[in-house]
Amino acid sequence: MSAAVRFELRKLAAQWRVRALLLAALLGPIPVALVMSAQANPPKDTLFGRFALDNGFALALMLLGFLGQWVLPLLTSVVAGDSFASEDQHGTWKTVLTRSTSRNRLFWAKVLVNLGLTTLVLVVLAASTIASALLVEGAPALTGLTGQLIAPGHALWLVAAAWLSVLPPLLGFTCLALLMSVWTRSSAAAIAVPVVLALAMQMLGSVGTLEPVRPFLLTTAFESWHGLLTDPRFTGPLLEGFVVSAAWAAVCLAGASFILHRRDITGG
């Protein structure tokens, strides 16, 4: 198993898109923070947008709310969507399976490597966004979602926790992209479909009359950090988000595993 994981890691590290992704996560937030701080009017329609022009914590949280809509799903599906489909494109299934490893091992190696990469991308993106937002706009006390003032030292922890809280739904999207990658055998489709679905879920969740469906959507968990910024704090939606994300991930991985095992690779 560890040999398969190491092999997948080497394949990933050699890809230009993985390097580009990490570089984008590291450097992308800097121009965004600079452009935001130069705006004349604050984007009040997004949560924390009201304070986003002169408070680094608020800017980092506003960007988190904004990125959750489709950028985060795109970041993970860019690599995960390519993972299985690239073996189809290069016609390498027979090579990897007959020579080096079992189908099951290869599947879990790819899953593990992709989940790990997504986690790394999120951590880099979070650290870079928070750091650039604070450097550009400073770190005054933050007005929370109960109107309470949060001291800068405490606000930093809360903002970091809010960013990390989107990891479960993000990994859910990774699994969705992996499923599409196995199923469609097309990188383009496996990258695009999760992003389109994220947008669709976002829309479904924001329509007032469709409120009952909200708890089951992956994108709802992208917003469950709100409870961390209120006083008293609430974590019900966070836990719900974990469960829903885990369920999506389990269903997607089970589906992907089933399809991969049923495939006739010798013929393709």
Partner 1 sequence: MRRVLIPVLVPTLALVLALAALTGLAFATNPGSTVTKARLERALPAVFAHVYVQEQRLAGRTGLTVADLDPVAMCDRGGPSVADTGPGSDWVCLMSWQDPEVPMPTEGYGKFELTVRSNDCFTASSPSKLVGYATMTDASGKTVTNPAYEFDGCFDPDTSNTPTGHTFPSLLSLTSTTAQVDASGHPQVQLGCGTGSDGCAGTLTATVATADGSTGRSLGSVPFDLAEEQVKTVTLPGRLRAGDSQVVVTLSTTTGVGSSSPATLAVQGATG
Residues that bind partner 1 (CB under 8 A): 44, 47-48, 50, 143, 145-149, 179-180, 183-186, 189, 193, 197, 200-201, 204-216, 220, 223, 226-227, 229-230, 234, 236-237
**Least distance from C-beta 217 to partner 1, angstroms?**
8
**Least distance from C-beta 46 to partner 1, angstroms?**
10
**Least distance from C-beta 216 to partner 1, angstroms?**
5
**Least distance from C-beta 31 to partner 1, angstroms?**
26
Query: Using CA atoms, how far apart are residues 145 and 135, in angstroms rounded to an integer?
Result: 23
- What does 188-199 look like in DSSP terms, one character per residue? HHHHHHHHHHHH
**Least distance from C-beta 47 to partner 1, angstroms?**
6
- What does 15-34 look like in DSSP terms, one character per residue? -HHHHHHHHHHHHTHHHHHH
Looking at the Cβ atoms of 123 and 204, the one nearer to partner 1 is: 204
Looking at the Cβ atoms of 116 and 255, the one nearer to partner 1 is: 255
**Least distance from C-beta 209 to partner 1, angstroms?**
8
Looking at the Cβ atoms of 30 and 139, the one nearer to partner 1 is: 139
- What does 161-197 look like in DSSP terms, one character per residue? HHHHTTHHHHHHHHHHHHHHHHHH--HHHHHHHHHHH
Query: Using CA atoms, how far apart are residues 229 and 162, in angstroms rounded to an integer?
Result: 8
Those residues whose C-beta lies under 8 Å from the C-beta of residue 129, and which sit 6 or more positions away, are: 29, 32, 33, 60, 63, 64, 163
Looking at the Cβ atoms of 53 and 171, the one nearer to partner 1 is: 53
Looking at the Cβ atoms of 17 and 211, the one nearer to partner 1 is: 211
Looking at the Cβ atoms of 11 and 185, the one nearer to partner 1 is: 185
Question: Nearest Cα to 171, choosing from 104, 227, 247?
Answer: 247
DSSP-derived 3-state class of residue 150 = strand
**Least distance from C-beta 208 to partner 1, angstroms?**
4
Looking at the Cβ atoms of 106 and 177, the one nearer to partner 1 is: 177
Q: 142 has which bridge partners?
A: 150
Looking at the Cβ atoms of 209 and 266, the one nearer to partner 1 is: 209
> What is the distance, to the nearest Å, from the Cα of residue 68 to the centroid of all Cα atoms in its chain?
8
**Least distance from C-beta 236 to partner 1, angstroms?**
4
Buried b (16+ CB within 10 A) or exposed e, 59-87: bbbbbbbbbbbbebbbbbbbbbbbbbbbb
Residue located via tokens 């969740």: 205
